[in-house]
Structure 1
């Protein structure tokens, strides 16, 4: 477990996705991504890396429609692998499966590749570079987008074969399309009390807890004031932020209420929505 993804930090640890064809999605997430099925119902499947903790849940709503373009919602969710070796194994695996990637980059803080699931939900698979090597200016972290050395990564994997996603894999971060960066910053930094660690011109913000390069990315690349996805569209249903204890969650819930944000209590679960209608489950 990354030190940035444990107490006392707050971070993302699960996502729930709506899909068009659950059988197609199960095949992708098990055979391409290497997840294990933790729990399965006819229209809902929970996936795990370690066989114990849920990480991704896929559901097929009865009236689901394809994901609509240029809306708010998921840009990508990011799976943090234990090290560079496993990133190389995964690259070799994708090559053997002839599954396309849509990009890759060396970000100064990480090495990452990007792909999409069958419903065009973005996925980043990455490994962190030692945090001692990250470039910082005060409490800001410099991230870049440099070319990725695919050959070197694959070479470092040696002759080993991919045998499924490593048990140590965690949800490293989530990156969201939003409609307004100022409103998003108020919600996530003033409301949820994440720290702003990087601003990319006037198009994206990166926020975190405990000095991480980012637990959440926010961008307006789908256009300022983009509309939210309809409830029945494929895409993200909600994602989960985990708090170190009940007291920490209660403090944030009260903070959000005082700032005028909606708190939804449902079946002993607590949810909120950011200003772009992205639904968030708040858990301990």
Structure 2
């Protein structure tokens, strides 16, 4: 079974929100994204390089959502380039009075919070790969211990926070799904991600190129959880970037071979499909 190209990674995430201006203020002032442009009910945000990392779409009259009972976004994860940049972000959260959770996952240190609509966000910094440990099957070892928050703040010191630094990207996305086995088939056998770790029979972590995970999948909202309503805030879609048309052609071939419906756009350089829980995935050639 062929794997997806090892250079594949997560691209932009597109979220539905109930109030565009409120969300823009949050993602700029609290998270640190840079504004690119606004287009009617949508807006694009980036880190310092200007490549869109987040698109917000206002849904008029968006209904509140109980995310513990539907498939969809658990969180999207913003990978910061250093531990110090994570410390600076933590200090900014504290200054804004934002509640956050945290977890040291051995391969990374992570901070968790929600946007004004309850969309989950992770801010994290990886440990060097030569510090990651692996099990006998080659899977990466991940757990959850307390983060040394005081150490992060000490590392940040009094340096100014100026938002997302150069090198910031979306490191991974984590989804509630309705069927873990069907999700494994879609993400591993069809898209071609490699299984890197599992958490009993409740969560899987898959990646390209040996990364700890590009996609997390869990059934914590319940087996058979229905898709979130279209009118609710949450995930519109997310991108998987591949380096060239040959890598995209391999994904296209596997989708067709598995009879998974997909739509081609951008003159065939982009594919969009739904996973078994109806989470939308856009696979495209990196610009």
Which TM-score tier does this pair reach, normalised by the shorter chain? Answer: over 0.9
Tell me the SS of whatever aligns to 1:136.
coil
Tell me the SS of whatever aligns to 2:93.
helix
Aligned match of 1:89: 88
CA RMSD, 1 decimal: 1.3
Aligned match of 1:22: 20
CA distance in 1, matches of 2:167, 2:121: 18
Aligned match of 1:105: 103
CA distance in 1, matches of 2:6, 2:103: 30
For 1:3-82, list aligned pairs within 5 A: 8-69=6-67, 70-82=69-81
CA distance in 2, matches of 1:66, 1:271: 27
Structure 1 unaligned runs (5+)?
Answer: 1-6
Aligned match of 1:277: 278
CA distance in 2, matches of 1:189, 1:71: 22
Give the alignment's TM-score, normalised by structure 1.
0.94
Shift of 1:65: 2.2
Moved over 6 A (4+): none
CA distance in 2, matches of 1:51, 1:85: 19
Q: Is the 8 Å Cα contact of residues 80 and 165 (structure 2) preserved in structure 1?
A: yes
Give the alignment's TM-score, normalised by structure 2.
0.93
Shift of 1:61: 2.5
CA distance in 2, matches of 1:8, 1:214: 12
Map Cα deviations across residues 226-250 of structure 1 (whole Å, 9 max, x no partner).
Answer: 0001222110000000111111111
2:175 pairs with 1:176: yes
Map Cα deviations across residues 93-136 of structure 1 (whole Å, 9 max, x no partner).
Answer: 111111111x1011110001000001101000000001101111
CA distance in 2, matches of 1:8, 1:110: 20
Cα distance change on mapping 1:205 and 1:238 into 2, 3 Å: same
Query: More deviation in 194-203 or 244-253?
Result: 244-253
